[in-house]
């Protein structure tokens, strides 16, 4: 497997609102925040048994391996639906599987869980109505993408370890972005420069987050997530710090997403083929241009 050009994400323990905004939020730079959860009851309270007790009866949709499930679409269909407690059993037993749960608003079913964490006052403009949880079995992964609404994300890890690869928007030309989506066609589980040669020019970040760690992912940053263990996370979001970012995020959600859904509905195979072909074509053009420039130096 080929190796990406990645550097470690910075780690901080205590940081003021002013310093966070200056060093990370406004420049759009990721950082691991070690003490973001220092006042959270959830860090000790949210065990598998606790979540099973509170919400085990709820039916949840499970999603499988993205490469095998309509990989060029913005939204993948679920592969099955099970009681949440049954899925928790898989995580607790360390079952290797591609099955994941994402954008799970468990708080609609068990609002008392909202009392176990706070919107840490390290920033403003939190989207307090949209806390989401993400669950994944050991060995599952989340395709390379950036969030369509361009929000900032504070992702806090529980009960295991995730590996996360990140790229700034400046690297988009190397990432095989699919038209009319915020997703990449490239597989970062098995990096292959012969198949996706532009990836060798991309420069990004890499980190692992463990229980209690919070990774700040700034607006528009590309991210690939690999579940090294069965685990889960809580995602808190805040609005893009810029007016253009807010406008573009809304446009992505209400125009681009709807257009892709419509074309995918009526022209599924041909639309999918077009997007994949175009993503590869554009990236290969960048490869040729980059190689010409390097030869001239």
Give CA–CA dist 61/76, Å, rounded.
11
Query: 16 forms bridges with which residues in the sheet?
Result: none
User: Does this model's pTM top 0.75?
Assistant: yes
Cα–Cα distances (Å) from 197 to 169, 173, 204, 293, 295, in that order, read: 18, 12, 16, 16, 17
- The tokens of 113 are what? 């869980």
Coil/strand/helix, residue 253: helix
Q: How far apart are CA 145 and CA 186, in angstroms?
A: 10
Q: What CATH number is given to the structural domain containing 111? A: 2.60.120.650
> What are the tens digits of pLDDT across the range 132-147?
999 999 999 999 999 9
Instruction: Give the span between the Cα atoms of 272 and 112, in whole angstroms.
Output: 42
Report the C-alpha gap between 78 and 90 in whole angstroms: 17
Provide the token pair at 199: 């990836």
Which two three-digit tokens encode residue 129?
């109505």
Structurally, how many domains does the chain consist of? Answer: 1
Per-residue HEC secondary structure of 191-231 comes to CCCCCCHHHHHCEEEEEEECCCCEEEECCCCEEEEEECCCE
Residue 23, classed as helix, strand or coil, is helix
Question: H or E stretch including 82?
Answer: strand 80-83
**Is the Cα torsion angle 77, 78, 79, 80 positive or negative in sign?**
negative
Q: How far is CA 71 from CA 57, 68, 149, 261, in A?
A: 30, 7, 20, 13
Residue 229 has what pLDDT? 95
- Domain limits for position 103: 5-296
Both tokens of residue 22?
């200056």
- What pLDDT is stored for residue 69 in this prediction? 67
**Distance from the Cα of residue 140 to its chain's centroid:** 13
Instruction: Let me know: does 157 contact 48? Beta carbons within 8 Å.
Output: no
pLDDT at 297: 61
Question: Which regions in the chain score pLDDT beneath 50?
Answer: none
Query: What is the per-residue pLDDT for 5?
Result: 97
């Amino acid at each position: 497997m080929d190796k990406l050009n990645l550097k470690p994400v910075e780690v901080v323990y205590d940081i003021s609102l002013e310093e966070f905004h200056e060093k990370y939020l406004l420049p759009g730079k990721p950082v691991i925040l070690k003490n973001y959860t220092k006042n959270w009851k959830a860090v000790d309270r949210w065990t598998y048994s606790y979540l099973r007790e509170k919400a085990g009866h709820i039916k949840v949709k499970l999603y499988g391996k993205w490469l095998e499930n309509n990989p060029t679409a913005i939204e993948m269909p679920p592969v099955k639906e099970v009681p949440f407690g049954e899925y928790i059993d898989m995580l607790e037993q360390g079952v290797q599987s591609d099955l994941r749960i994402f954008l799970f608003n468990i708080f609609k079913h068990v609002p008392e869980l909202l009392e176990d964490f706070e919107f840490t006052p390290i920033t403003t403009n939190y989207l307090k109505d949209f806390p989401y949880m993400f669950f994944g079995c050991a060995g599952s992964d989340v395709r390379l993408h950036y969030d369509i609404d361009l929000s900032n994300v504070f992702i806090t890890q529980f009960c295991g370890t995730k590996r996360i690869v990140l790229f700034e928007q400046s690297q988009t030309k190397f990432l095989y972005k699919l038209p009319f989506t915020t997703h990449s066609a490239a597989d970062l589980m098995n990096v292959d420069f012969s198949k996706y040669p532009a990836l060798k020019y991309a420069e990004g970040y890499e980190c692992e987050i463990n229980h209690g760690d919070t990774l700040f992912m700034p607006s528009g940053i590309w991210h690939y997530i690999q579940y090294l263990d069965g685990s889960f996370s809580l995602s808190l979001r805040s609005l893009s710090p810029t007016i253009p970012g807010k406008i573009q995020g809304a446009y992505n959600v209400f125009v681009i997403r709807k257009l892709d859904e419509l074309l995918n509905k009526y022209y599924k195979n041909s639309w999918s083929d077009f997007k994949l072909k175009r993503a590869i074509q554009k990236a290969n053009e960048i490869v040729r241009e980059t190689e010409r420039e390097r030869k001239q130096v």
